[in-house]
Amino acid sequence: MTPLEHKRMSTSPPHTLSPADLPALAAAGLRTPTYERQGLQPGVVHLGLGAFHRAHQALVFDQLLAGGDTRWGVFGVAMRSTQLADALAAQKGLYAVQVASRDGLAWQVPGALLQTAVAAREAQQVIDAVAAPATRWLTLTVTEKGYGSELAKLLVSGLAKRQAAGLPGLTVASCDNLSHNGRQLQALCEATAQALSPALADWITTCCTFPDSMVDRIVPAATPERLAAAAQALGVHDACALGTEGFWEWVIERRFVDAGDAAVLASAGVTVVDDVRPFEEAKLRMLNGSHSLMACMGAVAGLPTIAHCIAQPAIRTLVHGLMTHEVAPHLSRSDWADYRDALLRRFANPELKHSVHQIATDSSKKIPQRWPPSVQGQMQAGQPFERLAFSAAAWMRYCLAEDEQGQPYAMSDPMSGELQALAREHAGNTEATVRALGTLVSVWGEELPLNAAWLARVSQHLGRIGQHGMLAAAAQVDV
C-alpha cells in the first residue's frame, strides 16, 4: 500500500491539508516544498489571492525558494474574500495545484504563500507588511476593475510608512491584464501620493519601480469537481485546490529596485525584457480577445466551457480568422502564427473546463484592451473588421442575460444593471441596441462610437444573431 492509499484508508473523514501531510505527499511523488518554511520572512506582498496568482507567480516564487533564495516568500492579501484568506490560513498557506500538460495530469503543493490577510478587514496588517524591512516586492492581480482609489490608498499608505522608516523602495509589479499595467499603476500611486505630500510622490518616483508585466496561464476558478479530485488524489481535504495548464509565461520589464533580480527571475523561467509591449499586445488581443468572444458566444449558445466553444467548427473558424486577419496584422510579435496555433491548442485543453461565464465576468472592463485596438488597426489599414464587429454584436446579445434556450444567467459586471437595462429596452431593434450599447465610451473608446461604418457592421451581425442564432450567424461571417 502506498503512503497515500494508507492515508486514504486510515483517515475518514479526511482532515484538512496541513504541513504535517507534506512528507506523505512527497513520498507519493508529488512536488512539495523541500525548504524550511517556518521562520521565513515574506519578501513579497501580493494583492489579489485569486486562482491566477496561486498557480502562476506563487509557483515561480516556490521554485526560487526551492533553489535556496529565501527572499521570495509571499504575504498574500485577499482584497475582500475573508473565506478564501481564512481557508488558506487554516491550511498554513498550502494548497494543491493540478497541472494538465501534454504529459498528463500531475498534482503539486507549492509553499511560497506564508501568511494571509484581507485588505477590507485588516488594512493595517497589509500596510505593515508593505512597510516590513524584509519586503522587497509588491505584486498585484486585483483584476481590471481593481485599479481605483481604494487600491491606491492602501498602497500609498504602505509606501508612506516605508519612506517614513527610511527603508528602501519596492519593485511594484502589476500583473493584471491591462495595457501598460506598470505605468498605469505608477500614475495612480503618484497622483494619490501627490495629493498627500509631494515629497512622498517624489520618493515613490525615485525609489520605487513599476515594471510593465505580461502574465499568462489559464487558471480557471476551482469547481466542486476539482476539489473532489484533490481530495481523492491527496487523501486530505483541500478547500483551496486549483487546476491549470502546463503552459505559463511571465514577461517583465527590466525595471527593478534591485537590478540583480533580473537574473534571479530569469533563472526561474521568467523573461526579462526592455519592452513588454510586443508580448502584452499579442497576449491581450489574441488570447484574451478570443476568450472574450468565445465567452459571450458560449454563454448565449449554451456552451459551458472554452473547450466546448473551440470544438464548434463555426467558432473555431471565426477565432482562427479573427487572430489571423484582424488581430495579428497589428502586432509586432513576429512569431504570431505559432502563437496563434499554440493558443488554439490551449483553448482545446479538455482538463481545464474553463467556464465561459467566468471569462464573461467584467466584460465591460476587459473589452477596451482586447478588441478596439485591433478595430482601429484594421480601419487605418483599410481592411475589413467583420469578426471584430461580430464580437461586439455577440457581447451585446450577451447583455440580454438570457441564453438561446430561454435560460436566464447572472451577469457579473460593474455595469451589469445599466447594460442589461439597455439591452432589454431595445431588444428586437438591432439599430437601437447598437446605438445604446455601441456608443459607451468607457467600453469602446472615443472613436468607434462615432464611426457609422463600424456601427452598421455591428448592427448587421446582431440582427443575424437574433434571426438565425449565435452559431449560424458566426458561420455567416464572410470576408
Q: List residues near ligand CS2 by CB under 6 A.
A: 177, 216-218, 287-288, 291, 358-359, 366
- CA-to-CA distance for 400 and 408, rounded, in angstroms? 9
Whole-number minimum distance, CB 148 to ligand CS2, in Å? 19
Instruction: Return the number of the residue (209 or 288) whose C-beta is nearest ligand CS2.
Output: 288
Q: Which of 120, 138, 115, 110 is nearest to 47 (CA)?
A: 138
Least distance from ligand CS2 to the Cβ atom of residue 48, Å: 12
Question: What's the CA gap between 478 and 476, in Å, rounded?
Answer: 6
Nearer to ligand CS2, 24 or 97 (CB): 97
Nearer to ligand CS2, 190 or 253 (CB): 253
Query: Which residue, 136 or 291, is less far from ligand CS2 as judged by CB?
Result: 291
262: buried, middle or exposed (CB in 10 Å: 19+, 13-18, 0-12)? middle
Q: Which is nearer to ligand CS2, 285 or 366 (CB)?
A: 366
Which residue, 110 or 111, is less far from ligand CS2 as judged by CB? 110
Question: Which cell is 288 given?
Answer: 484574451
Per DSSP, the three-state class of 384 is coil
Query: Grid coordinates representing 114?
Result: 506564508
Task: Supply φ then ψ for residue 131, to 5 degrees.
Answer: -95, 10
From the CB of residue 192, how many other CB atoms can be counted at a distance below 10 Å? 21
Q: How far is CA 309 from CA 67, 74, 314, 358, in A?
A: 40, 36, 9, 14
Quote the least distance from Cβ 218 to ligand CS2, whole Å. 4
Owner of C-alpha cell 518616483: 205
* Contact residues for 372 (Cβ-Cβ < 8 A; gap 6+): 444, 445, 448
Cell numbers placing 222 = 476551482
Q: Which is nearer to ligand CS2, 180 or 435 (CB)?
A: 180
Q: Is 362 helix (H, G, I), strand (E, B) or coil?
A: coil
E strand or H helix at 116: strand 113-118
Which residue, 51 or 151, is less far from ligand CS2 as judged by CB? 51
Q: What is the DSSP letter of 286?
A: I
The CA distance from 129 to 16, in Å, is 27
Closest by alpha carbon to 418, among 445, 440, 389?
440
Query: Of the two residues 57 and 430, which places its CB atom closer to ligand CS2 in the complex?
Result: 57
Residue 424 beta carbon to ligand CS2: minimum distance, rounded to whole angstroms: 25
- The C-alpha cell at 54 is 496561486
382 Cβ contact list (under 8 Å, min separation 6):
none
List alpha helices for 51-170, DSSP H: 51-55, 57-66, 82-90, 123-130, 149-164
Smallest gap from Cβ 153 to ligand CS2, in A, equals 26
Question: Smallest distance from the beta carbon of 198 to ligand CS2, in angstroms?
Answer: 37
Task: Report, in Å, the least distance between residue 219 CB and ligand CS2.
Answer: 7
Cα 420 to Cα 401: distance, rounded to the nearest angstrom:
7
To the nearest whole angstrom, how small is the minimum distance from the Cβ of residue 296 to ligand CS2?
12
Rounded to whole angstroms, what are the CA distances from 272 to 218, 255, 340?
A: 21, 9, 22
Tell me how far, at minimum, the Cβ of 50 lies from ligand CS2, in Å: 9
C-alpha cell recorded at residue 171: 519593485
First vs last Cα of the chain: how many Å apart?
A: 61
Comparison of 8 and 346: residue with beta carbon closer to ligand CS2:
346
Tell me, what amino acid is at 469? G
Closest distance to ligand CS2 from the beta carbon of 58 (Å): 15
**CB-based closest residue to ligand CS2:** 291
Identify which of residues 205 and 358 has a Cβ nearer to ligand CS2 in the complex.
358
Q: Which is nearer to ligand CS2, 137 or 279 (CB)?
A: 279
Q: How far is the CB of 286 from ligand CS2 (least distance, A)?
A: 11
- For the bound state, the minimum distance from the C-beta of residue 448 to ligand CS2, rounded and expressed in Å, comes to 21
